[in-house]
Amino acid sequence: MTTTSTVTARPAIVIYDPECGFCRWSLALLLRADRGRRLRPLPLGSERADALLADLDPEQRAASWHLVAPNGRRTSAGAALPRVLELLPSGSVAAAVFERFPGATERGYRWVATHRSRLGRLVPSGARRRATALISERAGEPV
């Protein structure tokens, strides 16, 4: 007789700016799409985030979001977008497009990062509150 067991893979860690409403809202979009719970949010400036980003100076840490894979490999800024999309259901096609055009992906990321305060004002306060609640819920799950 054969038995099967379910093995839960360790999630990838998404390090984000908790002070940025647009950042929280964007992260919540990813978390909602993450039905497999393969992503775990971690706020920038937390003890664990500081440890995972120890080789970066504070300015580099704050310059972008960071994705840390279960194997410890870190990608940041635009380069992290294809990696995170690969973890989401039906995200492989979009990931391939962003991977194919890394320069455009990085420029797009930098534009959004530079204008995140302005973009954040377009996000309704209710959406920001729901995003914060979802991030809190998912941050409390075991890693």
DSSP result, the chain: -------PPPPEEEEE-TT-HHHHHHHHHHHHH-TT--EEEEETTSHHHHHHTTTS-HHHHHTS-EEE-TTS-EEEGGGHHHHHHHTSTT-HHHHHHHHH-HHHHHHHHHHHHHTHHHHHTTS-HHHHHHHHHHHHHHHTS--
Residue 1 lies in a domain: no
Residue 31: give the domain boundaries: 12-138
Domain count of the fold of the chain: 1
| Mean pLDDT in residue range 7-30 | 90
Q: What is the pLDDT of residues 120-130, one digit of tens each?
A: 999 999 999 99
Task: Assess whether pLDDT exceeds 90 at residue 6.
Answer: no
